[in-house]
Amino acid sequence: MLKDLIIIGASGFGREAAWLVERINHRNPTWNLLGFLDDNKDIVGKDINGYSVLGTSEDVEKFREAYFVCAIGNSRVREKMIGRITEINSEVMFATLIDPSVVISDLVKIGRGTIICAHTIITVNIDMGEHVIINLDCTIGHDAVIEDFVTLYPSVNVSGITTIRRNVEMGTGSQIIQGKKIGEYSIIGAGAVVVKDIPANCTAVGCPAKIIKSVPESVQGTLP
């Protein structure tokens, strides 16, 4: 029996998540995708790539039998959204979506609400938190720890024995060499190469990655 699913966020990555669901169902029928919820009221009721925008996040209570997945790429906004909908319904059910093309061992722990996109390789003894987004064509090496709400944009390479703390965003094509740590709420720019530990609440860019901005702790976890 197919399980009802609603995607939170109907923008670009939301549409890609809908395609991911279609790919899962083509391989193994699993989900009945009901449509989207999106807080842009201008698109409520509209059709997007064949799926209706059913309402805003405030309508999560209307779909108590459905599973949800949040397809908002920005880590801080995603965290805020998950907090909002769980306040509305503390028993909300979250789906985990893994593209059929993903190469992944049985020795990987994956939290609820996580999305892993096509052509990603995830090796062994990896601990991945909740509501993580791993975009297209990423690699994650052995013994890595990836905490809640992390976002890896396309073609990110994470080497073994690394730790990526909560709410980190790693830009397209960025890399982290083995054994390094990235502190919570930090952003790694596109194409950057992390060769030493990066502290929390900062932005680092370049090869090797250098800190260009620090974010006060008082604003961590808030909407941009």
Look over the chain and give the mean of its residue pLDDT values, rounded to a whole number.
95
Per-residue tokens: 40: 């842009």
Q: Do residues 142 and 162 make contact, with C-beta atoms less than 8 angstroms apart?
A: no
Whether residue 13 has pLDDT greater than 90: yes
Q: How many of the other CB atoms lie within 10 Å of CB of 69?
A: 25
pLDDT at 220 (0 to 100): 44
Q: Please give the span between the terminal C-alpha atoms of the chain, in angstroms, as a whole number.
A: 40
DSSP 26: H
Q: Give residue-wise pLDDT tens across range 108-123.
A: 999 999 999 999 999 9
pLDDT cut 70: percent of the chain above it = 96
Dist. CA 138–CA 153, nearest whole Å: 8
Summarize the confidence of residues 148-165 as an average pLDDT: 98
Q: Give CATH 3.40.50.20 domain extents, the chain.
A: 3-94
Dist. CA 161–CA 157, nearest whole Å: 13
Q: Give CATH 2.160.10.10 domain extents, the chain.
A: 97-209
Q: Do residues 58 and 88 make contact, with C-beta atoms less than 8 angstroms apart?
A: yes
Q: Do residues 182 and 165 make contact, with C-beta atoms less than 8 angstroms apart?
A: yes
Look up the CATH architecture of domain 3-94: 3-Layer(aba) Sandwich (3.40)
User: pLDDT class for 45, splitting at 50, 70, 90?
Assistant: very high
pLDDT at 14 (0 to 100): 98
pLDDT at 60 (0 to 100): 95
Whether residue 219 has pLDDT greater than 50: no
Amino acid at 103: V
Q: Among the CATH numbers 2.160.10.10, 2.40.30.30, 3.40.50.2000, 2.60.40.10, which is that of 97-209?
A: 2.160.10.10
Dist. CA 106–CA 185, nearest whole Å: 29
Summarize the confidence of residues 83-95 as an average pLDDT: 95
Query: Which residues pair with residue 32 across a beta bridge?
Result: 4
Q: Give residue-wise pLDDT tens across range 199-213.
A: 999 999 999 999 998
